[in-house]
Amino acid sequence: MRNWSNTANIWPAAGLLLFLGIWEAGVRLFALPGWLLPSPSAVFSSLLNNFSLIAAHSAYTLLEAGIGYTVSVVLAIFLALIFALSPLIKKILYPLLILSQTIPLIVLAVLFTIWFGWGLLPKILVVVLVCFFPIALSLMNAISNVDLDLISLFKSMGAGPLAIFRMVELPLAMPGLFSGLRIAATYSIMAAVIGEWMGAQHGLGYYMILQQKSFAIDRVLAAVLVICLLSLLMVKLVDMLEYLCIPWNREQVRADYQA
Amino acid sequence: MKKKLALVFIGLFLVSLAGCRSQAPAPPGNPPQKIKVLLDWVPNTNHAGLYIARDQGYYAEEGLEVEIVQPPEGGAAQLIASEQADFAVSYQEEVTMARAQNLPLLAIAAVIQHNSSGFASPQSKNIQTPLDFQGKTYGGWGSPSETAMLKALMKKYGGDVNRINIVNIGTADFFTSVQRDIDFSWIFYGWTGIEAEQKGLKLNFIPLDKEDPAFDFYTPVIIANEKTAASSPQMVERFMKATSRGYLFAVNHPDAAANIMVKAVPELNAGLVNASLRYLAPRFQADAARWGEMKQSTWDAYTAFLVENGLLAQTIDSEKAFTNRFLPAP
């Protein structure tokens, strides 16, 4: 069992190295110009050379994504509470929620910029728009899947709707909530970047546009690499948060990872 | 029997291959050659000659079927360099900076002879000279030529470019932007300036060609890939002949040209197109011997300015950046 879990880590790394190797060889073999497709070595070296600038821009993007994500979580939990307490409100608002997801994101990003300018607010709004829905939906689904017998039990002991939400529905819905949190985390960074494309002064999206207009595709790809890493970081943070928030699940989670 | 049939099919296949893209002008009966032209921005009167040549049949007469396409967010320069389109509308600044990064772009005509662009701001912002840019917010599209120009102007007037707040507003409209914390932008007077006149918005306009002779560069220009120019010179000549006719039509008949433009792009405001073409008509060719002609000195001056200020990755050979050889004889 132990040996398996060690070698299991090698394969993804090996696959990645193979992909990078093919890419590097291809660029050199076909002498592809830098403005068309830079090699992985060019991308890495431009990441190192521009590290402090990219880091400064990353800080802005992380800030936008972090604030937007936090607002999404609070909003989602709050909305789930309202829906749990008032089925009427749920009937009215739920279709609007679905509708909000059908509006093209790029259009909304443009409109937010027109309405709110070029500061942090429009980017945060874009992140909220993207992240809020998966979190809210997974939370509401998890709550609706809570064992009705448990709710009846609490009701029979005299618990009101608020107490039931706090003591039964929310705790039991946590695993479902966290799967939604993970999904939203992967999108949060990209949403912030899209918000920045519509108009910004700082951030990875802004940096990417500037570099693309200067024909420095190696720096564009360096920024893409940072975006991927930051998204993975967000997901890892959610995993850690889950470990802290759901102590009763830890044994199960550990067993899952070892399987 | 099977062998004979195979030979017949191979023969037919070879014959059909021979019918593919030829260099000679299309004799009647041959299908026209498909050409893609990328614009630099939303369709506007800078592109009048292209639309006129398309809709008046000038391209068809040269055996070309021209598709005029909006550029994607990535911009036209890289698409021309990677041969995804045949021609595009660009600017001398972009061609210069691209060639410094080894993109094989070649400017083949100047749409407007002298620089009609400059920095514009609503009068209420009180920006009279470039020194007043300090402490204000500039809304641009993220190109290195913008920072280069702002640095140069600040240097000339003894100001500090770091005191200008530079924001990328992408393709956001000038009039909306200036109501939303942007103080000034770089515009074509012939389009946005005229639009401001029409809207009754009083602007302070700082024309670039008056600031320094090196800033009287060619913008916009029509570009092609060097490879296209080398491998299909006759096609490029035919394209330029028709395009030239299109712009000359606009020079001589601005009102009729405006009607054609509005029919081609119904989203445009007819009043604006009319006024804009009346402004541009004397400026397309201006004092040149023929429309589109470019001077070596203009290219050298701007390149020298960029190099002197350390704004170019590597110096370029201006001679290779442009050519007049595809323009029809004067």
As a whole number of angstroms, the distance between CA A180 and CA B26 comes to: 61
Residue A257 has pLDDT above 70, yes or no: no
Concatenated DSSP letters of B141-199 = -S-HHHHHHHHHHHHHHT--GGGSEEEE-TT--HHHHTTTT--BEEEEIIIIIHHHHHH
Per-residue pLDDT averaged across A108-122, rounded? 87
CA dihedral B6, B12, B16, B18 (to 10 degrees): 100
Would you identify the CATH topology of the domain B117-208? D-Maltodextrin-Binding Protein; domain 2 (3.40.190)
As a whole number of angstroms, the distance between CA A118 and CA A195 comes to: 10
Contact B167 A216 (CB under 8 A): no
β-pair type (B165-168, B185-188): unpaired
Q: Are A258 and A5 in contact (CB under 8 A)?
A: yes
Residues of A in contact with B73 (CB under 8 A): 197
The DSSP output letter for A203 is S
**CA distances to A2, A172, B167 from A63, in Å:** 39, 31, 18
Q: Give the minimum alpha-carbon distance from A123 to chain B in angstroms, rounded to a whole number.
A: 13
Domains of chain A in start order, with CATH, are 59-258 (1.10.3720.10)
Query: Tokens in use for B282?
Result: 């004397």
**Extended beta strands in chain B, E state:** 33-38, 64-69, 87-90, 105-110, 117-122, 137-140, 165-168, 185-188, 203-207, 221-225
Residues of A in contact with B180 (CB under 8 A): 114, 117-118
Question: Mutate which of B90, B168, B185 to test chain A, going by most A C-beta atoms within 10 A?
Answer: B168
Give the residues across from B65 on adjacent strands: B34
Tell me: cis bond preceding B220? Omega within 30 of 0 counts. yes
Looking at residue A144, what is its pLDDT?
A: 86
Looking at residue A214, what is its pLDDT?
A: 87
Same fold, B31-114+218-321 and B117-208: yes
As a whole number of angstroms, the distance between CA A198 and CA A126 comes to: 11
Handedness of CA A113, A115, A116, A118 (dihedral sign): positive
Q: Tens digits of per-residue pLDDT, A40-74?
A: 999 999 999 999 999 999 999 999 999 999 999 99
Contact B103 A114 (CB under 8 A): no
* Nearest chain A residue (CA) to B84: A36
Residue A8 has pLDDT above 70, yes or no: no
**Mean per-residue pLDDT over chain B, rounded:** 90
Q: Give the minimum alpha-carbon distance from B301 to chain A in angstroms, rounded to a whole number.
A: 21
Residues of A in contact with B83 (CB under 8 A): none
For A209, the closest of B97, B142, B172 (CB atoms) is B142
Contact B81 A199 (CB under 8 A): no
The pLDDT-based confidence of A254 (bands split at 50, 70, 90) is low
Q: Give the minimum alpha-carbon distance from B242 to chain A in angstroms, rounded to a whole number.
A: 30
* Nearest chain B residue (CA) to A203: B168
Residues of B in contact with A209 (CB under 8 A): 142, 168, 170
Per-residue pLDDT averaged across A142-163, rounded? 88
Residues of B in contact with A213 (CB under 8 A): 75, 141-144
Classify residue B290 as exposed, middle or buried by CB count within 10 Å of its CB (0-12, 13-18, 19+).
middle
Contact B172 A114 (CB under 8 A): yes
If one looks up domain B31-114+218-321 in CATH, what number appears?
3.40.190.10
% of chain A at pLDDT higher than 90:
52
Dmax (CA) of chain B: 88
Classify residue A19 as exposed, middle or buried by CB count within 10 Å of its CB (0-12, 13-18, 19+).
exposed
| Cβ within 8 Å of residue B246, ≥6 positions away | B48, B49, B50, B51, B52, B53, B54, B56, B58
CB pairs under 8 A between A and B: 67
For B169, the closest of A118, A215, A216 (CB atoms) is A118
For B82, the closest of A36, A118, A212 (CB atoms) is A36
Q: What is the number of other CB atoms lying within 10 angstroms of the CB of residue A27?
A: 19
Q: Is B311 helix (H, G, I), strand (E, B) or coil?
A: coil
* Nearest chain A residue (CA) to B96: A214
Looking at residue A101, what is its pLDDT?
A: 86
Per-residue pLDDT averaged across A216-240, rounded? 94
Looking at residue A29, what is its pLDDT?
A: 93
ipTM: 0.78
Residues of A in contact with B72 (CB under 8 A): none
Looking at residue B13, what is its pLDDT?
A: 56
Residue A5 has pLDDT above 60, yes or no: no
The residue among B182, B176, B168 whose CA lies nearest residue B133 is B182
- pLDDT higher for B171 or A124? A124
Q: Give the minimum alpha-carbon distance from A210 to chain B in angstroms, rounded to a whole number.
A: 5
Residue A109 has pLDDT above 70, yes or no: yes
* Nearest chain A residue (CA) to B176: A114
For A118, the closest of B81, B97, B181 (CB atoms) is B181
The pLDDT-based confidence of A183 (bands split at 50, 70, 90) is very high
The residue among A36, A104, A80, A86 whose CA lies nearest residue A176 is A80
Model pTM score: 0.82
CA dihedral B133, B138, B142, B148 (to 10 degrees): -10
The pLDDT-based confidence of A83 (bands split at 50, 70, 90) is confident
Looking at residue B12, what is its pLDDT?
A: 59
% of chain A at pLDDT higher than 70:
93
The residue type found at B18 is A
The residue among A9, A68, A44 whose CA lies nearest residue A187 is A68
Looking at residue A199, what is its pLDDT?
A: 84
Residues of B in contact with A117 (CB under 8 A): 180-181
The residue among B84, B113, B156, B129 whose CA lies nearest residue B309 is B156
Residues in chain B with pLDDT values less than 50 = 18-24
Residue A253 has pLDDT above 90, yes or no: no
The residue type found at A202 is H
Per-residue pLDDT averaged across A87-93, rounded? 90
Task: Look up tokens 């400017």; give the residue.
Answer: B107
Looking at residue B74, what is its pLDDT?
A: 67
CA dihedral A58, A188, A63, A123 (to 10 degrees): 100
**How many Å separate Cα A248 from the centre of its chain?**
25
Going from N- to C-terminal start, the domains of chain B cover 31-114+218-321, 117-208
**Mean per-residue pLDDT over chain A, rounded:** 89
| Cβ within 8 Å of residue A78, ≥6 positions away | none
